[in-house]
Amino acid sequence: QVQLVQSGAEVKKPGASVKVSCKASGYTFINHATHWVRQAPGQRLEWMGWINAGNDNTRYSQKFQGRVTITRDTSASTAYMELSGLRSEDTAVYYCARRGDSFDYWGQGTLVTVSS
Amino acid sequence: EIVLTQSPDTLSLSPGERATLSCRASQSVGSGYLAWYQQKPGQAPRLLIYGASSRATGIPDSFSGSGSGTDFTLTISRLEPEDFAVYYCQQYGSSPYTFGQGTKLEIK
């Protein structure tokens, strides 16, 4: 069965960076894009960007351009999302999702807390 | 950027009733790339509907989607206790892929 398992919760100070991993299983990793979506407390879901796991192409939301980097390791069937220059407004649950029929499978989410 | 506006913000209904949720886009959604998700507290979103009207794997036929262009609807024909949650629409036809603000479906 398809599963996306994300890394654990993180607490970071303002200005730091965070890197979240998303390990895929149950399907051929390079055949599907991996997207990243975040949800701040009480807010709507917010799309951040995606990576074509087959050819390593990426595309980012303009809002996060310059601060977010999405990478992948095909040998480990894992995608990564790194967000730099963290501020308090980046406190959120970060999700990875597989692009199949829309975003058909999601990771369990990773809480990133930014606090001094 | 396509802005999605859902209505109502909160819908109070009883089990067994019919629910109708609306999603309006600020511009036409390309190729009908409109999805609906269900989210319960502490959980990741769950895909219900893609392509405006196709049910995802394992989704009961009490859930149906309709619409095109800028106006879309999610209908739950007969509410079960486990259907009370927050519902989001999403357009994935043009980047940035955007979500609505959500409709909270609560028990009356």
What does A47-100 look like in DSSP terms, one character per residue?
EEEEEETTT--EEE-TTTTTTEEEEEEGGGTEEEEEE-S--GGG-EEEEEEEEE
Q: C-alpha angle A64/B31/B9, rounded to 5°?
A: 65
pLDDT tens column, A72-100: 999 999 999 999 999 999 999 999 999 98
> Under a CB-based contact definition with an 8 Å cutoff, are residues A86 and A14 in contact?
yes
Residues of chain A with Cβ-Cβ distance to B94 below 8 Å are none
State percent of chain B over pLDDT 90: 96
Structure tokens at A113: 């807390």
pLDDT of residue B30: 81
CB contact (8 A) between residue A107 and residue B44: yes
Q: C-alpha angle A53/A56/A60, rounded to 5°?
A: 95
How far does B34 lie from chain A, in Å, by closest CA?
Answer: 8
Q: How confident is residue B31, by pLDDT bands cut at 50, 70 and 90?
A: confident
Mean pLDDT of B87-103: 96
CB contact (8 A) between residue A61 and residue B51: no
Residues linked to residue B6 through DSSP beta bridges, in sequence order = B23
* Placement of tokens 């309006």 in the chain: B24
pLDDT tens column, A12-33: 999 999 999 999 999 999 999 9
How far does B40 lie from chain A, in Å, by closest CA?
Answer: 12
Q: Please state the φ and ψ torsions of residue B28, each to the nearest 5 degrees.
A: -60, 135
- Shortest CA distance to B20 belongs to which of B3, B6, B37? B6
Q: How confident is residue B32, by pLDDT bands cut at 50, 70 and 90?
A: confident
pLDDT of residue A101: 84
Residue B102 has pLDDT above 90, yes or no: yes
pLDDT of residue B77: 97
Interface of B with A (CB under 8 A): 33, 35, 37, 44-47, 50-51, 54, 56-57, 88, 90, 92, 95-102
Enumerate residues 6+ apart whose C-beta is below 8 A from B5.
B23, B24, B25, B26, B100, B101
> Under a CB-based contact definition with an 8 Å cutoff, are residues B68 and B52 in contact?
yes
